[in-house]
Amino acid sequence: MKKLIFTLGFGLLFLNLSAQEKTKDSTTVETLDEVLIQSIRVAKDAPIPHSNIEKEEIAKRNLGQDIPILLNYLPSVVTTTDAGAGVGYTYIRVRGSDASRVNITINGIPYNDAESQGTFWVNMPDFASSVESMQLQRGVGTSTNGSGAFGASLNILSDAVSKEAYGEINTSFGSFNTQKYNLKFSTGMLNNHFEVSGRISKITSDGYIDRASSDLKSYFLQGAYVSENTLIKALVFGGKEKTYQAWYGIDAETLESDRTFNPAGLYTDDDGTIQFYDNEVDNYNQDHYQLHWNQRLNNYWTSNVGLNYTYGRGYFEQYKEDQDFEFYNFEPIEIGGEIINETDLIRRRWLDNDFYVINTNINYKKDNIDFTAGAFYSYYDGDHYGEVIWAKYASTSEIRDRYYEGNGTKNEFTVFSKATYNINDKWSVYGDLQGRFISYKTSGLTSDKVPLAVNETFNFFNPKTGLTYELNSKNQFYTSYGRANREPRRSDFENGVTKAEKLDDFELGWRFSTKKSRINTNIYFMNYKDQLVLTGAIDDVGAPIRATSGNSYRLGIEIDANFSVLDNLRIIPNIAFSSNKNKNFVSSRDGELVNLGSTNLSFSPNIVAANRLEYEPIKTLQLALLTKYVGEQYIGNIDSETSKLDAYFINDFNVVYTINSIPFLNEVVITGLVNNIFNAEYISNGYFFTYDDTWSDPDATTTIEGAGYYPQATLNFLLGVTLKF
């Protein structure tokens, strides 16, 4: 198979070309078969631990659940969801690092929100149906675009150009009234140069948690031009989500009596009856526009340019009781001789933002050297404001009067150069130098109406290096070191945190591979300075609050394998053992600051394991038993028993059956997924808080602890049918 090297706007691509055709003007047109990103991805023998997930693997369980849930069985991965069933707000943690510390790129463009650094998959429902492949790098990884990877990076590549025309209709349904519908198409290569493809999707679900409903819509449209030395792609994709809020969790007593209870939207009417506001929702639109131009200059040099514009806008709506007039800029009013200065009201808190990116790099590959250099620039402009859309006593206000306004702007410029040099048949060395230069400014008020005036710049130098040794065709060893720096996010500045955090990541690995088996073993040591750890507490919208830990570390070993026991039977296990510690952690206890010494980092279980047992009794039938174990973990940093989540062990069953002999169709694929087949009642996420009680005894201060929990769904199922034309 002939290989040509290309670079798309988001990176160097290897295009495996399976055929060549002659156009009428005798120009050679290579047909794309597979596209892999190199500028932000790593090769299979790179000195960086990683996992690759291809389109075929994604399709086996792609029945409406979000991308984090589809990645749940990878090494060191823990996932959770607010609504309890994988639709709506979902989250991923890798090596104990939360989603805001996992760098996400789509076609090389950062997807993490520039201000919050969070990743909101709910804004792009069913994007997995337009994914060609994904690579999850654990640790610092290679240089990428956007905020630094402090636990992992996930590089997503959208659908490749298709030579053949096709059409697909996908539908699925399941527990909690979950439904998914999508339509996909491709024109195939027109005139040997052009292709247009697309997708529209709709997903709805009532959720496992009460009223935690989701109404999700998305689209994807791609136009491509291909010639012998040029590949140009224009993409438009995005989504609209409306989800009922489920971010408050429940306390231990409610967990025992009513584990699906949802306190969001609760209020008391004039008769003293408890009600739930029917529109306590999150409502957000996000659209992405990308243009990628790749040019092969000669046999050794390729260049590329990528452009992006992302437009996001939306709000969450809340019913609030007994709100003070002054906070909303209302004037007191008199009714029947009584001064009124409180009211029930409905408010919306808005985000309206624009994100611009230009990304360019150049690659040289010849003989034993593979060198890439590039530059990245992004500009973010985000407005934050609140408005009142109804009030029982509106005073002199008008509908949608704003009671606070704020703005944040962020400029980022990154340059990098990286190279891999094959010293000989046994040894190769890798080097990577990156500079990140960030300016962040805010103005106006926070949602708590506190002035926020930030004007900070950060200049980071992030070197990385690695060495690979191939002992023989079966055994390969590697070691690497990577430095990452990361700026605080908006909420950190609101809480008075201004320090950047630093990470030194050391990796040491062994890869063993034969025709029937593959074993990867990796030891890591991640040493943090001023790590922004999750305190366990959440704010008034369920977002986690962070604090500076000082010195901390993560030390672990990861083992993943793939065994072909028989030609039709595979076992794919992985396990990670780790120790995740704060050093000399200081906390307030009973009114005094106390050094607690070494404590466990929050949300960092010491054991995470998974297994996939895949059996193919006949060519058209695939069966899989998927197993996940997550050890006990603390959701705070002070080793309090109140903050401990129990370990959990869950099993899913997946079946895929393909029918090829139906008239007028290429094939029909029937997919089934039974989640949590043993009906385990488990909790994958929670929050923890402390406060000082001085009411019971004014002369003594007692620290009170509390916790909340996010229960996950018990036994549930999804069943889907795909018609391929």
For the chain, the domain total comes to 1
> What mean pLDDT, rounded, does the chain reach?
91
- For residues 85 and 713, is the Cβ–Cβ distance under 8 A? yes
For the stretch 593-633, pLDDT in tens is 888 899 999 999 999 999 999 999 999 999 999 999 999 99
Cβ contacts of 21 within 8 Å, gap of 6 or more: 28, 29, 31, 192
In DSSP terms, 512 is beta-bridged to: 475, 519
CB atoms within 10 A of CB 396: 9
177 — pLDDT class (breaks 50, 70, 90): very high
Q: In angstroms, rounded to a whole number, what is the distance separating the alpha carbons of residues 97 and 390?
A: 40
Break the chain down into helix, strand, coil percent, rounded to 5.
5, 60, 30
* Helix H or strand E segment including 252: helix 252-257
239-251 average pLDDT score: 95
Euclidean distance between CA atoms 444 and 457, whole angstroms? 19
Distances 134 to 12, 41, 67, 308 between C-alpha atoms, Å: 15, 9, 10, 20
**Residue bearing tokens 């739930």:** 276
Return the number of other C-beta atoms located less than 10 Å from residue 56's C-beta. 8
HSE on the CB side for 574, CA within 13 Å? 24
Q: Is residue 545 a contact partner of residue 539, using CB atoms and an 8 Å limit?
A: yes
What pLDDT does residue 425 have?
92
Contacts of 663 (CB under 8 A, 6+ apart): none
With left for phi above 0 and alpha for psi between -120 and 50, is residue 314 left, alpha or beta? Answer: left
Q: Are 54 and 62 in contact (CB under 8 A)?
A: no
Range of the domain at 245: 2-724
pLDDT tier for residue 319 given thresholds of 50, 70 and 90: very high
C-alpha closest to that of 671 among 304, 66, 180, 23: 180
Instruction: Grade residue 569 by pLDDT with cuts at 50, 70 and 90.
Output: very high
CATH number at residue 81: 2.40.170.20
The pLDDT, as a whole number, for residue 699 is 62
Q: How confident is the model at residue 8 (pLDDT cuts 50, 70, 90)?
A: very low
pLDDT-derived band at 254 (thresholds 50, 70, 90) equals very high
pLDDT tens, 531-545?
Answer: 998 888 888 777 888
Give the pLDDT band (50/70/90) at residue 27. Answer: very low
Determine the Cα–Cα distance for residues 568 and 615; give it in Å rounded to an integer.
Answer: 6
Nearest by Cα to 98 from 646, 545, 683: 545
pLDDT, mean of residues 187-202: 96
Do residues 126 and 27 lie in contact, with contact meaning Cβ atoms separated by under 8 Å?
no
pLDDT band at 694 (very low <50, low <70, confident <90, very high): low
